[in-house]
């Protein structure tokens, strides 16, 4: 991670970073999942591959965890599932928190924003519950789900600003952008 931008909200620091989230040294990383935890593409596939080496195996582990933690075979916006980091432990990652953002297909409105807020907040609350000090997010919904990137980044900032007031153990929240271009774009928004 060469360069970073940092904001402070209460006891929380929110940093925009550039890199591959599957190697990012945060205690918990968040997966931009779909509701069935079928990690077929994007960051979900990358995380499943990096964790277990076998994507199908990690999908099985995720679905089993979902049954245990949620009691059914899908999650709503705001509900999250935790799975072990497995091979990513070598980078200091302990947990993967799966959350589901809205599908936008290029459109953006209040409803999508609310769903994204729930998805982010659900993961933050779970991180507090797990007692971790750091969590890294990808740009949830800004890839395959087609939500406008700038709006996604703005929503992160808003949620963190609010959450900073009630944060407990959590000290560092990272938004990790994969490409240099996204990183530069994010810096212009936060």
- Start-end of H helices in 77-145: 110-130
Q: Pick from 6, 10, 40, 180 the residue near ligand AR6 by CB under 6 A.
A: 40
Whole-angstrom Cα distance, residue 80 to residue 70?
A: 8
| Residue span 7-26 as binding mask against ligand AR6, x where in contact by CB under 6 A, dash where not | -------------xxx----
Does residue 164 interact with ligand AR6 by CB under 6 A?
no
Residue 20 is encoded by which pair of tokens? 């591959």
Q: How far is CA 168 from CA 128, 148, 172, in A?
A: 7, 31, 11
Tokens of 190: 């936060």
- By DSSP bridging, strand 81-84 and strand 95-100 are antiparallel
Q: Which is nearer to ligand AR6, 26 or 170 (CB)?
A: 26
Least distance to ligand AR6 from the beta carbon of 155, Å?
13
One residue of 80, 121, 132, 139 binding ligand AR6 per CB under 6 A: 139
Task: List residues binding ligand AR6 (CB under 6 A).
Answer: 20-22, 32-34, 38-44, 46, 101, 138-145, 176, 178, 182
């Amino acid at each position: 991670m060469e360069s970073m931008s940092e904001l402070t909200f209460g006891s929380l620091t929110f940093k925009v970073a550039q890199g591959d989230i599957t190697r990012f040294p945060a205690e918990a990383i968040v997966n931009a999942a779909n509701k069935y935890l079928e990690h077929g593409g994007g960051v979900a596939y990358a995380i499943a591959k990096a964790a277990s080496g076998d994507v199908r195996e990690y999908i099985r582990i995720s679905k089993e965890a979902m049954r245990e933690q949620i009691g059914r075979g899908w999650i709503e916006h705001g509900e999250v599932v935790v799975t072990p980091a497995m091979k990513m432990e070598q980078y200091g990652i302990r947990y993967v928190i799966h959350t589901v953002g809205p599908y936008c297909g290029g459109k953006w409105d209040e409803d999508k924003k609310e769903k994204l807020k729930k998805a982010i907040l659900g993961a933050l609350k779970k991180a507090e519950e797990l007692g971790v000090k750091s969590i890294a997010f990808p740009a949830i919904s800004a890839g395959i789900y087609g939500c406008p990137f700038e709006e996604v980044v703005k929503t992160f900032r808003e949620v963190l600003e609010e959450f900073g007031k009630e944060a407990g153990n959590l000290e560092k929240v990272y938004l990790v952008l994969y490409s240099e271009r996204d990183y530069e774009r994010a810096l212009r928004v936060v």
